[in-house]
Amino acid sequence: MKQAMLYEKINGKVKCNLCYRRCLIDTNKTGFCNVRKNIDGKLYSLVYSRLATYSINPIEKKPFFHYYPGSKWFSFSTVGCNFHCPHCQNYDVSQAKLGAVPDFDVPPEKIVQMAKDYDTIGISYTFTEPTVFFEYCYDTGIIARKNNLKNCFVTNGYMTPGAVKKSADFLDAVRIDLKGDNSHYKKICGNIKLENVLECISNFYKTKMHLEIITLVIPDENDNRDTVRMFADFLKPLSSEIPWHFTRFYPCYKMLDKKPTPVSTLEKMRSWASDFGMKYVYIGNVPGHEYENTYCPNCETLLIKRYSFDVKKINLKNGRCPSCGKKIPIVGSGFNPLTP
Tell me how far apart the alpha carbons of residues 292 and 295 are, in angstroms, rounded to a whole number. Answer: 10
> What is the rounded CA–CA span in Å between residue 125 and residue 172?
12
30 and 86: one domain? no
Start-to-end C-alpha separation, the chain: 42
Contacts 24+ apart (CB under 8 A), 251-256: 251/87, 252/87, 252/88, 252/89, 252/91, 253/85, 253/86, 253/87, 253/88, 253/89, 253/91, 254/86, 254/87, 254/91, 255/86, 255/87, 255/218
Predicted local distance difference test score (pLDDT) of residue 334: 64
Residue 228 and residue 193 share a domain:
yes
pLDDT of residue 86: 94
Distance (Å, whole) CA 55 – CA 57: 6
Contact between residue 30 and residue 2 where contact means Cβ atoms under 8 Å apart: no
What predicted TM-score, i.e. pTM, was given to this entire model? 0.96
Q: Which residues of 302-315 are buried (b: 16+ CB within 10 A; e: fewer)?
A: ebbebeebebeebe
pLDDT confidence band for 196 (50 / 70 / 90): very high
User: Which regions of 126-256 does DSSP assign to beta strands (E)?
Assistant: 150-155, 173-177, 210-217, 244-248
**Same domain for 41 and 117?**
no
Percent of the chain with pLDDT over 90: 94
Instruction: Decide if pLDDT at 338 tops 60.
Output: no
Q: Is residue 337 part of a domain?
A: no
- What would the pLDDT profile of 233-251 be if each residue is shown by its tens digit? 999 999 999 999 999 999 9
Last residue of a domain, one of 246, 263, 282: 282
Q: Strands 150-155 and 173-177, how do they pair?
A: parallel
Question: What SS3 class is residue 307?
Answer: strand
Res. 38 pLDDT band, cuts 50 70 90: very high
Residues 54 and 30 in one domain: no
Question: Whole-number mean pLDDT of the chain?
Answer: 95
DSSP state letter for 34: S
161 and 40 in a common domain: no
How many distinct structural domains can be found in the chain?
Answer: 2
Q: Which of 122, 119, 116, 111 is nearest to 52 (CA)?
A: 111
Residue 152 pLDDT > 70: yes
- For 64, other C-beta atoms within 10 Å of its C-beta total 28
Residue 324 lies in a domain: no
Q: Mention every residue, 6+ apart, whose C-beta is less than 8 A from residue 219.
A: 249, 258, 259, 261, 262, 265
Query: Contact, 136 vs 45, CB < 8 A?
Result: yes
Pairing outcome for strands 244-248 and 150-155: unpaired
Q: Is residue 291 part of a domain?
A: no
Domain boundary among 29, 45, 61: 45
Domain presence at residue 340: no
Single out the residue of 206, 158, 163, 208 nearest to residue 178, CA to CA: 158
180/227 same-domain check: yes
pLDDT at 93: 93
Instruction: Please tell me whether residues 19 and 79 are part of one structural domain.
Output: no
* Residue 225 clears pLDDT 70, i.e. is over it: yes
Contacts of 153 (CB under 8 A, 6+ apart): 124, 125, 126, 130, 137, 167, 171, 173, 174, 175
In a domain, 22, yes or no: yes
pLDDT value, residue 203: 98
pLDDT at residue 126 is higher than 70? yes
Same domain, 31 and 114: no
Give φ, ψ of 159 to 5 degrees.
-85, 135
Residue 15 shares a structural domain with residue 78? no
Give the confidence band of 340 by pLDDT, cuts at 50, 70, 90. very low
**Cβ 289 vs Cβ 246: under 8 Å:** no
**Whether pLDDT at 130 is above 50:** yes
Is the pLDDT at 336 greater than 90? The verdict is no
Residue 97: predicted pLDDT: 86
Same domain? For 33 and 61 the reply is no
Residue at which a domain ends, from 261, 282, 303: 282
pLDDT of residue 168: 97
Residue 99 has pLDDT above 90, yes or no: no
Q: Is residue 91 part of a domain?
A: yes
Mean pLDDT, residues 171-187 taken together? 96
Domain housing 12: 2-45
Both 87 and 218 in one domain: the answer is yes
Is 26 part of any domain?
A: yes
In a domain, 297, yes or no: no
CATH of the domain at 239: 3.20.20.70
Question: Quick one: 38 and 65 in the same domain?
Answer: no
